[in-house]
Amino acid sequence: MDKKKLEHAKRIERLITRRYLTAVLIIALLSTGAFVALKSALNDSDSTALVVNISGKQRMLSQHIALDVHRIHRERFRNDYSENLYYINSIRSRVAEMVAANKRLSSGSLAENQVMPLSEIVRDMYFGEMNLSQRVNDYTHLALKIIAAETFDQSEKVIEQIDQVSEGLLVDLNKVVFQYQKEGEDRLELISDMETFLLLFTLFTLMLEVLFIFRPMAKSVLNAEKKVSEVLNSLKDQVELRTIKLEQANQKLLEAASHDPLTGVKNRLTMEEDVGDTIQAFKSHQQDFGLVMLDIDWFKSVNDQYGHDFGDAVLVEFAYILEQHVRSSDQVYRAGGEEFVLLMNRISLKELMKRMKSLGDYIQSHSFKSKGKVINVSASMGVFHSSLLSGFDFQLALKLADSALYEAKSLGRKQVVLAHSDKSS
């Protein structure tokens, strides 16, 4: 009898031992699987943040390259060799960066030992109908032609070609950035679903262990559950931290894409969208508005005499003055170089001209100071108002304002000139 009890006890002991080892093995597999899966997801999140950063920088480089092409064209035929050489070196550097970024993005090789396979949508953007990879290479090759141009006509032709493709390329680069952001958000959502699944599966397994393993196993099961919970909570904290960093990076990229990095005011890309909305509001509700182009007079001489650092300080302070002299409903943009644009909402022609003349007087009386240097500048303004024409779009309004600005300069600068509707043809 004792022998049978001993054999039974040993059999129970072996059974308990097998179940205990099975329970431990299950817990170990679940913990390892959760760690490996979420670690992989975190690495994927890092790759997503990097690819969004690279694509956002590529988008910004396309704008700077177009601007450098115009600068080289302008400075070359002013016979300013030092200024022209500066912009030539600048465009070469930016072209090299953009080519490298395009190669990394189109191949998925983001960095050493960091490869991110392209999704079908992104691959189609780079190599399908949009053919963005080849277009970026063609764009950079075209931009470098400005350096080899020997005549005004050759240089002018490059300018025309750059202007034709730069806007469309910028729009498509913007689409790629938003696609990468969307895919990153989808991956974060997948991580969240994976967390939920792993947590539920773990709890279900633990419940089965409690039901089918004897009471002596209860303590071991609870300890194992606690360990799994700690691992999951630790990984969850890391995922949340990476999520916050990714959101912050996305916000900075959006801010950089819509604002001028030097002055902090909105850039030309944002201007076209805002003016388009304002024109639509005018057509629907007859809310008059004004579009004003401003140019700091003789700004090149400021750079030549005082240096580019002082010139940048003048631009920053000039942008600040514009922001202080417009209403909260108005907008200030930097179109490029020393040229700015004001979008004046819900304003009559009479009030608009009055405000611009007052602004011009203030600018002339203001002293621009930086690092012990003090100068005074003036500004020429070209003014377009919605009451001048019965039908117009953004391009026409900007063209009329630009023509008025040119007339202001021709009249000796320091002028506020209203656009003529007869120049709309």
- Residues 101-138 pLDDT 10s: 888 888 888 777 778 888 889 888 888 888 888 999 98
For 187-240, the pLDDT digits (tens) are: 778 777 777 887 787 778 777 767 777 566 555 555 556 665 665 676 676 767
186 and 278, same domain (yes or no): no
| Counted domains in the chain | 2
145 and 289, same domain (yes or no): no
Burial of 94 (0-12, 13-18, 19+ CB in 10 A): buried
50 and 191, same domain (yes or no): yes
* Highest mean pLDDT pick, 65-69, 81-85, 337-341: 337-341
CATH number at residue 200: 1.20.1420
Residue 252 in domain: no
Q: What letters, b where the CB count within 10 A reaches 16 and e where it falls short, cover 102-139?
A: bebbbebebeeeeebebeeebeebbeeeeebbebbeeb
For 324-340, the pLDDT digits (tens) are: 999 999 999 999 899 99
319 and 196, same domain (yes or no): no
pTM, 2 dp: 0.44
CATH number at residue 293: 3.30.70.270
Question: Lowest-confidence range among 243-257, 279-293, 326-340?
Answer: 243-257
Chosen domain end from 219, 250, 280:
219
200 and 308, same domain (yes or no): no
Tell me the two tokens of residue 263: 């002055």
Residue 371 in domain: yes
pLDDT band at 17 (very low <50, low <70, confident <90, very high): confident
For 339-396, the pLDDT digits (tens) are: 999 999 999 999 999 999 999 999 999 999 988 899 999 999 999 999 998 889 999 9
Rounded distance between C-alpha atoms, residue 208 and residue 219, angstroms: 15
Residue 254 has pLDDT above 70, yes or no: no
For Cα atoms 210, 213, 214, give the angle at the middle one, nearest 5 degrees.
Answer: 105
Chosen domain end from 179, 196, 219:
219
214 and 287, same domain (yes or no): no
Mean pLDDT of 406-421: 93
Residue-range definition of the domain harbouring residue 119: 3-219
- Inter-axis angle of helices 299-306 and 81-107, nearest 10: 100
* DSSP string over 118-131: PPHHHHHHHHSSS-
Question: Lowest-confidence range among 244-253, 308-317, 326-335?
Answer: 244-253
* 157 or 26, which is more confident: 157
Q: Write out the H or E segment, with its range, that includes residue 382.
A: strand 379-385
Residue 86 has pLDDT above 90, yes or no: no
